[in-house]
Structure 1
Amino acid sequence: MKRLFPLAVICAALTGCNATKEPIYYYGGYNTAVYAFLKADSITVEEQISMLEQTIADATNKNKAVAPGLHAHLGMLYFEAGNSSQGITHFETEKSLFPESVQYIDFLLKSAQGA
């Protein structure tokens, strides 16, 4: 019984510390924008772009990292809106922030540019 008490205290301490951990990434309106995109009739592409740009601004103001995929999704929206230079910029930003996405983003970039 004496051995279980220290173990219980350690587990409780670790659990308590874990409960206050903040998320690594800032999502803001990202999930809402993705849902709107998939629903296709909720809000316009321009409104989705605005929502994601605001999410990036909020993350910057809070010194938080933006969520993986946010710049890629924004780039796709810019391509859909006819602004390929902004689309490329956000695809490149996604690749620099998340190097593990390079192959997929390169595929999206080739697809968006009609290659």
Structure 2
Amino acid sequence: MDAKMMAPKAVLMVAIAIATLTGCETTKPLYHYGSYQTNVYEHFKNEDSAVTEQIEALEKTIRETNRNKLQVGPGLYAHLGFLYLQSGQRDTGLAYLQKEKQLYPESTHFIDFLLKNAKAGQS
């Protein structure tokens, strides 16, 4: 092959490589969970763990999520509401459960179940 025929092929190969590499952009995650998974694990692993510490960690995750303009992951508000109910802060707990239900309608049946149990526990 002569140099004149190799030049267009080389240019084409470089162009394909550049197009391929620039097309590999990482996608932004849909939801932000922060320390949520760690908190849930700690809660169920060690029932003596301080509920207030878990609440603070989840509240911090929500603040970080809002500051970074991300969406809080499904389940986080529900777990936070559950923790508030456990700590005796009923109104705050119910508000977070309602927020979970509002943001994630697919959780309606489960949240309604939790709300029903929370109201039954009040009687």
TM-score range for the pair, normalised by the shorter chain length: 0.7 to 0.9
Q: Unpaired runs of 5+ in structure 2?
A: 1-16
- 1:28 CA drift (Å): 0.5
1:16 to 2:24 alignment? yes
> Which residue does 2:66 correspond to in 1?
60
Counterpart of 1:28 in structure 2 is 34
Q: Percent same amino acid at aligned positions?
A: 42
**TM-score relative to the length of structure 1:** 0.81
Matched, 1:73 2:84: no
Separation in 2, partners of 1:44, 1:65:
26
- Paired residue for 2:106? 100
Runs of 5+ consecutive residues of structure 1 not aligned to the other structure: 1-8
Paired residue type of 1:16: C
Q: Kindly provide the amino acid, as one letter, of the partner of residue 51 in structure 2.
A: V
CA-atom RMSD in angstroms: 2.2
Checking the alignment, whether the CA contact within 8 Å between 1:75 and 1:87 is kept in structure 2 is yes
Counterpart amino acid of residue 76 in structure 2:
L
Q: Within 2, Cα distance between the matches of 1:77 and 1:53? A: 11
The TM-score normalised by the length of structure 2 is 0.76
Matched, 1:38 2:44: yes
Residues 36 and 42, structure 1, Cα contact 8 Å, conserved in 2:
no
